[in-house]
Copies of this chain bind each other. A is one copy, B any other.
Amino acid sequence: MAKTFRVGLIGYKFMGRAHSNAWRQAPKFFNLKANIELHTLCGRDAAGVQAARAKLGWEHATTDWCDIVESPLIDIVDIATPTFAHAEMAIAALKNGKHVLCEKPLGRDLKECEAIFAAAKKAKGVHMVCHNYRRIPAIALAKRMLSEGTLGKLYHFRARYAQDRLADVEFPLDWRLQKETSGSGVHSDIGSHIVDLARYLVGEFTQVCGVVHTFVPERPRADLLAKGKRQLGKVTAPDSSAFIGWLENGVMANLEATRYALGRRNHIEIEINGSKGSLCFDFEDMNRLKYYNGDDPKDRQGFRDILVTQRDGIQPYVANWWPPGHGLGYEHTFVHAIADFVNACADGKSVHPTLEDGLKNQRVLTAVEKSSATGKWIKV
């Protein structure tokens, strides 16, 4: 009979909702190697977490995260809190032998990430950092094609994660814009996703050169706005970043993260060029992958607009959902991540992206920050 994993989730806001949904949905759409029990939800506000518990489908609620990481009833700890809390929670969970799924970015800085991964190395649990975008079907298909050498020798990797909400200078100063809570603001919040995709799809960074920047240095404090008061506070973390660099095997890289691109809601644009073809992706059209095959007959070459919704296992993940042309949405990326994670836990096998990927990601982020501070190229 199949094992049952009891899950404890810390955090019930945006990421908590997305993860809860994935825990509920994964067993409905995938044949998992273990059963899932949505055991305990944790949040700091007692009333809030109780309401969320019912709404999101959890059995129990607590305001003390130690109830989760220390409980012998819990098998899997899922950390969906703001960044500043990751290290303490993840390390405790790992020490307590839990399987750990942790939101990205893994920590606020290199030191935290190193400590987390050191704990992971000593622990027996399976671990994953939640770079959910790896499991967009189009991205998983791109990875498969790249692994098969479809693009030949690679020349360029280019990614831009652009949103627009900070273009409004009245957008409040929340935890994401403060160094103490977020680590590196937009650079690590969304920049880490495209660093992860570069590493996943192409390989490791060898050196980088770039800027982290704060376009709007002061914003209305979110905490005071909640009390009806408008008072400016200092933005202490970058609200944008851009860098060039090199990936292994001489691939030129160009990455940019910003929330100042009006009209770009969640635009994760990627282009990879190789000697045999090119691939393009844009999250705002997440069910599509564009592929140029240099070997197509010369009179009929062009980017193919692949709608990644084929049945029968032809394309990753999608066969578990709906017929061709019936696309998926944002939340499915978490369902796929959690389905793979649960199976890995059941098998006791490692599953990408591990906490080590989280650490390696931070090395790139930190190198860009150093480059920005010194005006120099930094080896990763």
* A-to-B contact residues, CB < 8 Å: 14, 18, 20-21, 24-25, 28, 55-57, 141, 144-145, 155-156, 158, 160, 162-165, 167, 169, 209-211, 213, 215, 240, 242-244, 250, 252, 254, 256, 258, 260-267, 271, 273-278, 283-294, 296, 298-307, 309-310, 314-315, 321-332, 375-377
Contacts and interface: CB of A to CB of B under 8 A. Distances in A.
A324 B271 contact: no
B244 A211 contact: yes
B24 A307 contact: no
A277 B263 contact: yes
B278 A264 contact: yes
Given A155-B261, A266-B323, A302-B307, 17 more contacts: A21-B28, A24-B24, A156-B256, A211-B252, A213-B252, A242-B244, A260-B273, A262-B278, A262-B292, A262-B294, A263-B278, A264-B278, A284-B307, A285-B285, A290-B302, A291-B300, A376-B376
Contacts of A162: 273
A29 B283 CA distance: 23
B376 A322 contact: no
A252 to B, nearest CB: 6
A327 B266 CA distance: 9
Given A14-B323, A145-B300, A327-B284, A210 B244 contact: yes
Contact of A261 (B24, B271, B321, B327): B271
Contacts of A315: 299
A300 to B, nearest CB: 6
Nearest to A331: B322
A289 B299 CA distance: 11
A326 B330 contact: yes
A285 B215 CA distance: 32
B330 A156 contact: no
Contact of A296 (B141, B304, B327): B304
A300 B306 contact: yes
A261 B275 CA distance: 8
Contact of A265 (B211, B254, B298, B307): B307
Contact of A299 (B209, B278, B314, B375): B314
B263 A292 contact: yes
Contacts of A262: 273-278, 292, 294
A198 B30 CA distance: 37
The CB with the most chain B CB atoms within 10 A, among A165, A286, A305, is that of A305
Nearest to A326: B330
Given A260-B156, A262-B277, A377-B375, A24 B28 contact: yes
Contacts of A165: 324
A299 B141 contact: yes
A55 B27 CA distance: 8
Contacts of A296: 304
A162 B324 CA distance: 12
Contacts of A145: 300
Most buried by B among A258, A271, A321, A326: A326
A173 B167 CA distance: 46
A178 B237 CA distance: 45
11 contacts: A24-B28, A156-B258, A164-B273, A211-B244, A244-B244, A264-B278, A267-B325, A302-B306, A321-B330, A322-B329, A376-B376
